[in-house]
């Protein structure tokens, strides 16, 4: 695989709705090779949905998603699974298997998708755990880990198949400042050391600013703004300023769309 383009993933005119509610309405977005790209936006703008579309857990109603020049909507099941092996995924809460040790959690993808010997699996797993600073925790169970340690084990598991694309879904949620700093450093270090492409979905503006090469801010089904974190932080758009600076008042309203308050209280709403 490989089409030689600077963009590893290209999304064009993407449209996707849930029922009558549009999530994306003509979304255009590029993920460049070898870079850390952040996807940001207010809650409900479809950031996690976009990850599911990129990995074809969901299918667009219109538009194209190209991964390394391949339109993923055209792939049969066998080729889709082959493509997915190029992805690593760090889920929001780590999603470790609670009945398996740290070592076996990291080894799980290798046991499922390869025929490697136990000796080689042990070598790979310990190498990945060493990379996230947890080789000494290989024998622990998930219940014995702190939140930050669990996230680092999940990162080791996401890397164990040596993916080309590493996806982080809200990697900083629930972490203390020290653990967050460790994860931020690991995201950047792993991306550069392994020569991979990283996609981060996050609300944490400050942390994203220290690690992302390019950020996209989503709103109303499209890209509201894009650029480096510094460019977004100095943008003049009211929406961008509201999100980047955490302002309570702005285009993103506090109240979800609803009928007249008075009419609803009096029971006259339809």
Query: Could you report the per-residue pLDDT of 238-267, keeping only the tens digit for each?
Result: 666 666 655 555 545 444 556 666 677 766
The answer as to whether 70 is a domain residue is no
The answer as to whether 162 is a domain residue is yes
The answer as to whether 229 is a domain residue is yes
CATH number of the domain residue 217 falls in: 3.40.50.300
Cβ-contact 232, 205 below 8 angstroms: no
The answer as to whether 5 is a domain residue is no
The answer as to whether 58 is a domain residue is no
Cβ-contact 98, 143 below 8 angstroms: yes
* Helix ranges, 160-234 (H): 177-194, 205-211, 229-233
List pLDDT tens digits, range 58-94.
888 889 999 999 999 888 999 988 888 889 888 877 7
Element housing 264 (H / E) = helix 261-265
The answer as to whether 51 is a domain residue is no
The answer as to whether 66 is a domain residue is no
Q: Give the per-residue pLDDT at 235.
A: 67
Domain count, the chain: 1
Does 151 score more than 80 pLDDT?
yes
């Amino acid at each position: 695989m490989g089409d030689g383009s600077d963009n590893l993933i290209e999304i064009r005119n993407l449209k996707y709705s849930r029922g009558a509610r549009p999530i994306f309405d003509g979304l255009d977005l590029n993920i460049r090779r070898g870079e850390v790209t952040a996807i940001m936006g207010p809650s409900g703008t479809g950031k996690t949905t976009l990850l599911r579309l990129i990995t074809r857990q969901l299918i667009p109603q219109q538009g194209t998603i190209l991964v390394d020049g391949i339109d993923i909507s055209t792939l049969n099941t066998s080729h889709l699974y082959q493509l997915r092996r190029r992805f690593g995924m760090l889920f929001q809460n780590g999603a470790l298997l609670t009945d398996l040790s740290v070592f076996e959690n990291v080894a799980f993808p290798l046991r499922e998708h390869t025929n490697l010997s136990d000796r080689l699996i042990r070598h790979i797993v310990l190498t990945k755990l060493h990379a996230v600073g947890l080789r000494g925790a290989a024998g622990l169970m998930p219940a014995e880990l702190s939140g930050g340690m669990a996230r680092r084990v999940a990162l080791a598991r996401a890397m164990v198949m040596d993916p080309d694309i590493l996806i982080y879904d809200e990697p900083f949620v629930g972490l203390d400042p020290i653990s967050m700093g460790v994860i931020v450093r690991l995201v950047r270090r792993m991306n550069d050391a392994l020569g991979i492409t990283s996609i981060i979905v996050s609300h944490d503006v400050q942390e994203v600013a220290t690690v992302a090469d390019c950020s996209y801010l989503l709103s109303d089904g499209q890209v509201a703004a894009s650029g480096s974190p510094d460019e977004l932080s100095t943008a003049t758009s009211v929406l961008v300023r509201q999100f980047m600076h955490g302002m309570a008042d702005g285009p993103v309203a506090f109240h979800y769309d609803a009928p007249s308050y008075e009419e609803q209280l009096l029971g006259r709403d339809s």
